[in-house]
Amino acid sequence: MREKLKQLANDSIIYGISSVVTRFLSFILTPLYSNFLSTSQFDYLIYIFSFTTLLSVVYSLGMETTYLRYYEKNNLETSKKAFTYAYASINVFSLLITILIIVFSEQIIQITPYYSQIGAKDILILAAFIPFIDVLTYIPFNYLRIANKALMLSIIRLVSSIASLGLHYYLIVNLSYQAEGAIWSQIGANSISFLILIPLIINNLTGIFDKDLFKSMLRYAVGLLPGLISLALLQVIDKPLIKYITNNELSITNYQVNLRLAVPMLIFVSIFDFAYQPFFIKHSSESDSKSMFGRVLTYYILASSFLFLIISFFIRYFAIMPVFDGNIINSKYWDGLSMIPIILLAYFFYGLYVNFSIGSIVEKKTLYNSIVLISGVITNFAANLILVPLFDFYGAAYSLLISFIVVACLMYILNRKIFPIEFEFRNIIKIVLITLFAYSVPFVVDIFVDSMILSIFVKVFAILLMVFFYVYFDVVKSGELKSLSKILFFKK
């Protein structure tokens, strides 16, 4: 088991290094947007990006995970068929929808809150190309995942992210573009990824049509798609709802800026999901798989708890650092800094959902995922309608947390029935209690002493104390620590 966990950790770290670097480059866009875009343009850009995020998921048709499931390492012909059918399905569908958006752009813009904004229609048409070009890379990237070519995938993503950052800086800072500068930058970055992947795409295409295989893939994908759309809605529906309920540009931009400050936790969950899905598909049939997956959950909770403390403790100091003749985050958005721990917890429960969804994917019962995620969307929608009028954009943060708790709990209940995993509840309880204790220490000290330097010192001490307790209470095994240290420092 330890060797398999080392492979998962190794892939996660390779994906992680590239993802941290690329997401950090993207993260730099937060101060750029908050300091160089007008509130109205930033508001519209948030709305547009919510739209393109949802379209990217719809365009995928569920074929990303479907391709992973039908890829056969020892059967090149079947793998090429699966690649071709998934890739062709996505491209044809996304092309048709993009054409429809362009043709009916006037009608679409009329049903949004931005119909009177100058240039809104042109920006919508331009934005339609972001998901269209983006999905051209989905299946090739998944080929690199399943073929254990993590380094190549990471390099391509890094190149794309550097290009995106450079284009953003040139168009928005140098040329003073507004929302359209951000959209052109994203189109350019996506195009670079696609161009790099063209040889790989050509090499994996085949002209052989297998009707039975194609129908089987479609059936599997159809079961996934409602869940994928629901997952995307969970992460974007709050922004349009804040806009409609409050009609306040500052509320939606304040929410978005501080949401992005919690993105390191989402990065971690995405890295984990990216590495874990092909891992558990490969090893699910092995005799020790269920105990191994249980151990993985323990390490997920341990790592995410550690990350939660670091971000919660220090993100405020980062936000107020001086830059661009101002601060990392424009001071008009500081009102939302206290919502960051709420968002971090929401993403933590999203990671629990990822862990609990193993059974439905392995057993090809993806309808369960769809039912669970649709329940989450309904919960999120209802909670926003109740909480946003009461707490403004903080209500959206609480709604996101509540919906992901619902999703994780429902997925756990279903997973116990179809693919019961031997979770290490004793260790999980230890981690939760240790984390709560470490989280509370600085707040107790702050009640009695008002000193930023002392506060930082106490927070660092609390994190070190937490690590000590993890080892002392045997949550982390010494052998696993040695293995992890070798991976982290690239030792054989």
Strand partners of residue 326: 323
pLDDT tens track for 327-341: 888 888 898 999 999
Integer Cα distance of 366 and 194 in angstroms: 29
* Rounded average pLDDT over 433-446: 89
Give the whole-number percent of the chain exceeding pLDDT 70.
89
Has residue 99 been placed in a domain? yes
Phi/psi at 116 (nearest 5 deg)? Answer: -95, -5
The answer to whether 264 touches 346, Cβ cutoff 8 Å, is no
Per-residue pLDDT, 318: 87
Has residue 222 been placed in a domain? yes
Has residue 183 been placed in a domain? yes
In this structure, which amino acid lies at residue 157?
R
* Rounded average pLDDT over 238-250: 88
Has residue 343 been placed in a domain? no
Mean pLDDT computed over every residue of the chain = 85
**In 3D, which of 449, 452, 444 has the Cα closest to residue 317?**
452
Per-residue pLDDT, 113: 79
Has residue 349 been placed in a domain? no
pLDDT tens track for 130-165: 999 999 999 999 898 888 787 788 889 889 988 999
* Rounded average pLDDT over 164-193: 92
Q: Domains in the chain: how many in total?
A: 1
Has residue 289 been placed in a domain? no
Ranges 104-113, 182-191, 292-301, most confident: 182-191
pLDDT tens track for 88-112: 999 999 999 999 999 999 999 888 8
Domain hosting residue 188, numbered range: 37-236
Give the whole-number percent of the chain exceeding pLDDT 90.
38
Statement: the pTM of the whole predicted model exceeds 0.85: no
Alpha-carbon torsion, ordered 14, 20, 23, 26, to 10 deg: -120
SS (HEC) of the chain = CHHHHHHHHHHHHHHHHHHHHHHHHHHCHHHHHHHHCCHHHHHHHHHHHHHHHHHHHHHHCCHHHHHHHHCCCCCHHHHHHHHHHHHHHHHHHHHHHHHHHHHCHHHHHHCCCCCCCCCHHHHHHHHCHHHHHHHHHHHHHHHHHHCCCHHHHHHHHHHHHHHHHHHHHHHHHHCCCCHHHHHHHHHHHHHHHHHHHHHHHHHCCCCCCCHHHHHHHHHHHHHHHHHHHHHHHHHHCHHHHHHHHHCCHHHHHHHHHHHHHCHHHHHHHHHHHHHHHHHHHHHCCCCCHHHHHHHHHHHHHHHHHHHHHHHHHHHHHHHCCEECCEECCCHHHHHHHHHHHHHHHHHHHHHHHHHHCHHHHHCCCCHHHHHHHHHHHHHHHHHHHHHHHHHCHHHHHHHHHHHHHHHHHHHHHHHHHHCCCCCCHHHHHHHHHHHHHHHHHHHHHHHHCCCHHHHHHHHHHHHHHHHHHHHHCCCCCHHHHHHHHHHHCCCC
* Rounded average pLDDT over 284-307: 82
Has residue 404 been placed in a domain? no
Angle at 483 between CA 481 and CA 486, to 5 degrees: 110
Higher pLDDT, 403 or 117: 403
pLDDT tens track for 387-439: 999 999 999 999 999 999 999 999 999 888 887 888 888 999 999 999 999 99
* Rounded average pLDDT over 165-181: 91
pLDDT tens track for 360-381: 777 777 778 888 989 999 999 9
Task: Kindly give, in sequence order, each residue whose CB lies less than 8 Å from that of residue 418, ignoring residues fewer than 6 positions away.
Answer: 359, 360, 363, 365, 368
Per-residue pLDDT, 12: 55
* Rounded average pLDDT over 58-66: 85
Has residue 8 been placed in a domain? no
Confidence label for 119 from pLDDT (cuts 50, 70 and 90) = confident
Task: Kindly give, in sequence order, each residue whose CB lies less than 8 Å from that of residue 433, ignoring residues fewer than 6 positions away.
Answer: none
